[in-house]
Structure 1
Amino acid sequence: MKRYEYKVIPAPQKGVKAKGVKTAEGRFAVSVEQLLNQMGQDGWEYQRAELLPSEERSGLTGSTTNWRNVLVFRRVVEEEVDASWVGAVPEMDDTPLAQPIPGPEEVQAPKPIAAEADEPPLSLKRSDDAVDENGPSKT
């Protein structure tokens, strides 16, 4: 399915001078032609011209309705998607996406940090803040 984005711009109000064009209608046509070609080069496809009302303030408390001419363009945002792919499950090879988590029998305990041979392990060391059976140590 194709998806589009739209762009609406004001239509030209005055014609532009061009070689060989003498009338006001011809000059106006040249200005519209130049605008359409410029938008086409940017990838926009012309759709239509619209005459739309625009309510604008007039004075301190009033409002008036002005009619504006606009040009509507569109361009494709996404390319067409084949209907056979919608809802289809992609094919996968036999390569596992993740490695299995090892069980407790497969996990090896980390090796202890090398310490001096005559020093007891940290869990058996006595700290200065430790309390022995006679009460807290006094230093």
Structure 2
Amino acid sequence: MIYEYKVIPAPTRGQKAKGIKGPDGRFANALEIEMNRLGADGWEYLRADTLPNEERSGLTGSSTSYRSVLVFRRTKAGDVAVFQPETLEAPKVAELPAPEAKPVAPATKAEPEDTTAPEVALVLEDGDKTGASAEKDPDESESVDDVNVALKKRVETLEQSK
């Protein structure tokens, strides 16, 4: 991940608020206010550091003082590592009722079994065919729900014709 950082000076004075007493509480309140302000903008608090700062004193001299800073970071906008795709639920498919078992008459003579699968074609009400023997337009796609509805209608018409 790629981060960007923000460094701000640590507060030097406390901030008064209702119910907060003493200098320690006011100082903690000032820190809390700064952290919440930056956190609302997406900055994550990382650490506090005390670093040396060399300053000029007088015409030719210099002195070193120490400054306390607060370090924040956040992921850089447009970082592809932050992208987290969602997994979608599988579509629900309606189940067809199980076909009723028909009594089978005993075979009179042994015939070789046909192992080839029969071609299945479903004729819809408007006359279109769907199934293994139907020719399909590659640009035309049917949804699972449309096929389930058509199969249910076909099962109903077969049961009524018995």
Structure 1: gaps of 5 or more residues: 83-139
- The offset of 1:22, in angstroms, is 1.3
Q: CA deviation at 1:79?
A: 3.4
Q: Does 1:48 align with 2:61?
A: no
Aligned match of 2:29: 30
Counterpart check, 1:75 vs 2:98? no
Q: Which residue number in structure 2 is paired with residue 100 of structure 1? A: none
Q: TM-score, normalised by structure 2?
A: 0.48
Amino acid at match of 2:73: R
| Higher RCO (C-alpha 8 Å, min separation 6) | 1
* Count of paired positions: 81
Alignment of 1:124-135 (within 5 A): none
Distance 1:81 1:61 in 2: 51
**Fraction of identical pairs, as percent:** 60
Q: How does 1:1-139 map to 2 (within 5 A)?
A: 2-77=1-76, 78-80=79-81
Is the CA contact 1:5–1:75 (under 8 Å) kept in the aligned structure 2?
A: yes
For residues 44-81 of structure 1, give each alpha carbon's deviation from its aligned partner in whole angstroms, at most 9, with x where no partner exists.
00000000000010011000001000000001012317
* Deviating 4+ runs (over 3 angstroms): none
Taking structure 1 as the reference length, what is the TM-score of the superposition?
0.56
CA distance in 2, matches of 1:74, 1:46: 7
Residue identity in the other structure for 1:50? D
Name the one with the larger helix percent. Answer: 2
Q: Which has the higher strand share?
A: 1
Residue 38 of structure 2: SS of its match in structure 1? Answer: helix
Unaligned runs of 5+ in 2: 84-162
Q: CA 1:20–1:11 in 2, change beyond 3 Å: closer, same or farther?
A: same
1:3–1:79 contact (8 Å) kept in structure 2: no
Q: Provide the C-alpha distance between the structure 2 equivalents of 1:54 and 1:31, rounded to a whole number of angstroms.
A: 23
Counterparts of 2:68 and 2:48, CA distance in 1: 7
